């Protein structure tokens, strides 16, 4: 059973516009959430995180929102740039300190 779900396998956005990537989870014991970015033929790299005690965290063009009641988080990228084209994974930390990853969303930013 998938505890962390990314229901959109792909997303296409025009350069300069906002990209919104979504993630849903089922386990209310998750206490920390992260987003990773992955380019082809490379390992994932950490992008941004949020603790379950917060509802928003911002880092430059990237903002993560957490809605605990809905068990939903989202990543906003504003403005989107062609270099943002990658696969994005959301992840959640469980009560044994392991990360559970979603299936990923492939973002394409076109000119």
Partner 1 sequence: DAGITQSPRHKVTETGTPVTLRCHQTENHRYMYWYRQDPGHGLRLIHYSYGVKDTDKGEVSDGYSVSRSKTEDFLLTLESATSSQTSVYFCATSGEIFTGELFFGEGSRLTVL
Q: What is the DSSP letter of 39?
A: -
| Span from 12-20, 58-66, 68-76, 86-94 in contact with partner 1 (CB under 8 A) | 86-94
Of the pair 52, 79, the CB lying nearest partner 1 is at: 52
Q: What is the DSSP letter of 84?
A: G
Task: Report d(CA 12, CA 46) in Å as an integer.
Answer: 22
Task: Report d(CA 102, CA 18) in Å as an integer.
Answer: 21
Task: Draw the binding track, 28-47, toward partner 1 (x: CB under 8 A; -: no contact).
Answer: ----x-x-x----xxxxxx-
Residues at the contact surface with partner 1, assessed by CB under 8 A: 4, 6, 32, 34, 36, 41-46, 49, 89, 91, 93, 97-104
């Amino acid at each position: 059973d998938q505890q962390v779900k990314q229901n959109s396998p792909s997303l296409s956005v025009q350069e300069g516009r906002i990209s919104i990537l979504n993630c849903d989870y089922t386990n209310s014991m998750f206490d920390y959430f992260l987003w990773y970015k992955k380019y082809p033929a490379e390992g994932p790299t950490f992008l941004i995180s949020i603790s379950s005690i917060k509802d928003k965290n911002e880092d430059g063009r990237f903002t993560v929102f957490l809605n605990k009641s809905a068990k939903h988080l989202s990543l906003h990228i504003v403005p989107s740039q062609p270099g943002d084209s990658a696969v994005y994974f959301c992840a959640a930390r469980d009560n044994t300190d392991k990360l559970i990853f979603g299936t990923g969303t492939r973002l394409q930013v076109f000119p």
